[in-house]
A and B are shown apart, each in its own frame.
Chain A
Amino acid sequence: MTLETKRWVIGGLGALFLVSLIMVQWLETARRAEEAGLRPASVSAPASSVACVDCHAQANPGIVDHWTGSSHAEKGVGCVECHTATAAEPDAYLHYGETIATVVTPLDCARCHVDEAAEFAASHHSKAGNILASLDNYLAETVEGSREDFNPHSPTPGRAFDMVNGNASAQSGCKQCHGGKVALQSTDGSVITVDDLQPDENGIPTNQAVLATIVKDDKGQPLYDPGTWPNTGIGRLNLDGSAGSCTACHSRHDFSPRRARQPENCGKCHLGPDHPQKEIFEESKHGIAYRDLKDDMNLDAVDWVLGVDYSAAPTCATCHMSGNMRNGGKVTHDPGERISWTNRPPVSVAMDTDANHAIVKSTDEDERRALTVDSWEDKRNRMKDVCSHCHSPNYVNGFYEQYDSFVQLYNEKFGKPGQAIVAALAEHGARTPTQFDEEIEWTWFYLWHHEGRRARHGASMMAPDYTHWHGMYEVAERFYMELIPQAREMADHRGGSAGAAVHRVINDILARPEHAWFEEGAAEQSERIRQEMERRYGQGSERRDGAE
């Protein structure tokens, strides 16, 4: 072989080596960039889902686009892995050769996410569907809507409605957050829910007879009752017996942890007049810091551990769910694990919980101790672990002193008295058994359900305006200016010994030192305020400007 030939051999192989080196480096650089989160990971649909992706990329490109950017796609989890079903499931159908179900439930997610599903199942979130027999639901189904569908009483030009869905407010309102019972249409015109199917622990119906009555379309796909699906309420009651919906927080089809870490995600439900947690957070220093420092939050981190991956600001997830340096980075899908007061009921309750994660209601201390598996102190200490990443123990303990004091004040001055007065009215026949048919029932509901919660939630998350002006100020106004006069009027209307008994309850409450100002007056204090106003702003200012 001549030197010239060898020259070509070396040149050719050298070029081949360099080209392959460039290709390898190209792939390597791309992989490193994906790993560092600098560019989206390259994904390809797993074999089982190629057909789904090809077809739905045309039919519903948004679904495929979202999935393409998901961790699922990166890890090779496609459509079939989540939507797969067995023929024995009531909502299963054959779709281009695959047996699938449209609704993916926590039981499906638990095939991979075992711990997360178990934590979620133990949480209050998963039980949010239990409002189905609550005052809220009564409001939506009866007061706002109607238990029975009814005929429209006049035509709607351009639309041919022959029936009004009395349940519409509950379906589009309550159940979209709380979750409702998913139902299939039945051939007899009714619906089939989990109650009818009686599924076993694997989600397979034990009542097989009912399966024959499921209405299916011409392709064999079972039809959901449109009043119950779509629904991503967090406490959704699924056909397989599981409770909840993971997509309530982990929006499909990208299931982004980044989004679940942001307060806007919780704000789908935790906002508004009755529990404005998102607005409260935004008013707090925590929310202010988050808004400013969001770019430093490392929201795309794999584990997102406070103190390791970020410490710029907290979000709802940081305090209530995410891992932190002190707890070894353990995430929980039970946000109740770190909450020491529940401010949801009319009177706040310490969060001692039993083996079933239910709040211990006993008033006997020995019995409480015996039943309590996870005490409010345990929960508070978990939250303190979070706080301590940014605050000293004295600061945290000081905050909890303020918070406890506030909850106590609300409970003792307004919560328990309000409850006692409303109960006395019922006990002595001054109220009808029907809820919300009398003004005082609306008054009381506003007091604890809206204003009382706002006040307590405001204090719990350090939002002074929600604590005071949107909170206790309105609680006080509602209590003194509406609840007390309305109760007295109802007692007078009832008359006799029953009315007198109600008056006694009210009198006893108002005779307490904290209410004394209302009956006995506080002229001395008012005079001191007037004098101070005059000293600051000049003669007559108090009279001209009112109380301020």
Chain B
Amino acid sequence: MSSIAQWIQDRIPVSPHVIREMSNEPVPYHMKHWWFALGGTPAYLFVVQIITGILLSFYYEASTGSAYASVQYITDQAAFGWYIRSVHKWAATLMIAAVVLHQMRVYFTGAYRRPREMSWMVGMALLLTTLGLGFTGYSLVFEQLSFWGATVGANMTDSVPVVGSLLKNMMLAGETYNPRTLSRFFILHAAVLPVTMVGLIILHIVIIRLQGVTEFWFKGEEPQNVGKGKFDFFPDHFYTELTLGLVLMILLSTLATIFPATMGPQADPLTTPEVIKPEWFFYVVFRWLKLFPGTFAILSTGFVIFTMFTWPFIDAQIRRRTRFQEASVWIGILGVLAIVALTLWEAFVAH
């Protein structure tokens, strides 16, 4: 052992064997396939968001008078500001995409089933936190569409029976969008939601470590054919994640360079834009809201989210009480098709 390692060992008396044991969880063989590594992708992108977010917050001013100008400064003048902002914007999009893909994989393989229901529910909480980060982040730019997007979002919240008004007040720090709203969004975006996210990610990983991941044996990959049926997390799986991370970084840089983040017109509370649009990941909800009356649309959206949260238990009941053992797959296919259709519909109609 080198003197430096010994020095550290003296002060942090944890055996290297323990560390190796902790970091070298045996990984099921199926995770050699890269699409089973998508769970690590949002975590990687979250780190990108934290780093770029900290850099952006050096310049960002959360006040209605100066927010737009500060984002404009970041975009036009601050060194590498346009790049950092563009990476932040694209990483958000990719993060949501990765979360959805990861969730689809977990769902269709039934990996949420007992005893991993908690892991699924924490995952759902992570999805909602990610969407919350997207919503508050978009609002911070204080351009016309983000301002009106936030206003529409608040009004939607108002449609929730009983607590809607309270929720809206909590969201906007008042009855309507006011000078305190933006700082509230900023604190939510830069402190409350990221800390929540970190806590949920830790919980997610702890549950995975305690329960282990679901094991799949594809044809020809049964344990008897591939040795123990497991491989070491480090370095094998770590390298897979690292490769994915590097590919993502290249993708992010390419997107940020070719399609840099732009600035729309500054928010004008007195002029309602002809077309109000939220960020793309809310298109599905937005289109749903346009299709049905306010309260029904909100309640049905809430119902869908609740159903998704508790799906492991609902699925268990369906499997126990009916003969539709694969009902979840068909429901899932319909759900994904509906989400894609509503998103595309909104995207095309708005143009």
Contact = CB atoms under 8 A, between A and B. Distances in A.
Interface of A: 1, 3-4, 6-7, 9-11, 13-14, 16-18, 20-21, 23-25, 27-29, 31-33, 35-36, 38, 42, 75, 302
A21 B97 contact: yes
Contacts of B101: 14, 17-18
B219 A27 contact: no
Nearest to A30: B351
Given A13-B104, A16-B336, 11 more contacts: A3-B217, A7-B218, A9-B329, A10-B104, A14-B101, A24-B283, A29-B259, A32-B261, A35-B265, A36-B264, A42-B351
B344 A24 contact: yes
Which 3 A-B pairs give the minimum distances between C-beta atoms? A36-B262, A35-B264, A24-B347
20 contacts: A3-B109, A6-B108, A6-B109, A7-B218, A9-B329, A10-B35, A10-B109, A13-B104, A14-B104, A17-B104, A21-B93, A23-B347, A25-B280, A28-B280, A31-B350, A31-B351, A35-B264, A35-B265, A75-B274, A302-B265
Contact of A24 (B274, B329, B337, B343): B343
B329 A1 contact: yes
A25 B93 contact: yes
Interface string B185-220: 000000000000000000000000000000011110
A518 B105 CA distance: 101
A296 to B, nearest CB: 12
Contacts of A24: 280, 283, 343-344, 347
Contacts of B333: 9, 13
Interface in B109-127: 109
B199 to A, nearest CB: 28
B318 interface: no
Contact of B97 (A1, A7, A18, A33): A18
Interface string B46-82: 0000000000000000000000000000000000000
A28 B97 CA distance: 15
Contact of A17 (B35, B108, B340): B340
B263 interface: yes
Q: Is the interface of A mostly helix, strand, loop or mixed?
A: helix
Task: Point out which of A13, A20, A25 has the most chain B C-beta atoms below 10 A from its C-beta.
Answer: A13
Interface in B1-17: none
Contacts, number: 80
B43 interface: no
A35 B263 CA distance: 8
Q: Which of B100, B261, B262 has the most CB of A within 10 A?
A: B262
A1 B326 contact: yes
B104 A20 contact: no
A480 to B, nearest CB: 58
Given A3-B217, A25-B280, A36-B262, A20 B344 contact: yes
A350 B104 CA distance: 77
Q: Give the most central of A33, A36, A42: most B CB within 10 Å.
A: A36
Contacts of B261: 32
A197 B109 CA distance: 80
Interface string B328-342: 010011001100100
Contacts of B259: 25, 29
Q: Which of B261, B329, B351 has the most CB of A within 10 A?
A: B351
Contacts of B218: 3-4, 7
Contact of A27 (B93, B109, B336, B348): B348
Given A9-B329, A17-B104, A75-B274, A3 B216 contact: yes
Contacts of A33: 262
Interface string B274-290: 10010010010000000
Contacts of B329: 1, 6, 9
A38 B75 CA distance: 14
B263 to A, nearest CB: 6
A36 B337 CA distance: 33
Nearest to A302: B265
The interface centre, meaning the residue of A18, A35, A42 with most chain B CB atoms within 10 A of its CB, is: A35
Nearest to B336: A13
Nearest to A10: B108
A23 B104 contact: no
A33 to B, nearest CB: 6
Interface string B260-274: 011111000000001
The CB with the most chain B CB atoms within 10 A, among A4, A32, A302, is that of: A32
Contacts of B262: 32-33, 35-36, 38
A28 B109 contact: no
B264 A17 contact: no
A304 B103 CA distance: 47
A112 to B, nearest CB: 13
Contacts of B109: 3, 6, 10
A20 B336 CA distance: 11
A20 B219 contact: no
B264 A32 contact: yes
Contacts of A18: 97, 101
B100 to A, nearest CB: 6
A17 B105 CA distance: 12
A368 B145 CA distance: 50
Nearest to A16: B340
A105 to B, nearest CB: 26
B45 to A, nearest CB: 14
Contacts of A42: 351
A33 B259 CA distance: 9
A9 B109 CA distance: 10
Contacts of B336: 13, 16-17
A17 B347 CA distance: 14
Nearest to B325: A1
Interface in B236-273: 259, 261-265
Nearest to A9: B108
B338 to A, nearest CB: 12
A36 B101 CA distance: 31
Contact of A23 (B100, B105, B108, B344): B344
A42 B348 CA distance: 12
A548 B101 CA distance: 87
A31 B217 CA distance: 45
A261 to B, nearest CB: 17
A302 B264 CA distance: 11
A11 B104 CA distance: 10
A17 B93 CA distance: 13
A468 B350 CA distance: 59
A501 B263 CA distance: 74
Contacts of A36: 262-264
Contacts of B265: 35, 302
Nearest to B94: A21
A488 B333 CA distance: 104
Contacts of A32: 261-262, 264
Contacts of B347: 23-24, 27-28
Interface in B277-312: 277, 280, 283
B146 to A, nearest CB: 11
A7 B216 CA distance: 11
A219 to B, nearest CB: 37
A10 B105 contact: yes
Contacts of A1: 326, 329
A3 B261 CA distance: 41
Contact of A20 (B35, B274, B326, B343): B343
A1 B35 CA distance: 20
Q: Which of A18, A27, A75: most chain B CB closer than 10 A?
A: A27
A75 B273 CA distance: 11
Contacts of B216: 3
A190 B217 CA distance: 96
B313 to A, nearest CB: 21
A29 B280 CA distance: 11
B270 to A, nearest CB: 11
B340 A20 contact: yes
Contacts of A4: 218-219
A6 B326 CA distance: 10
A205 to B, nearest CB: 36
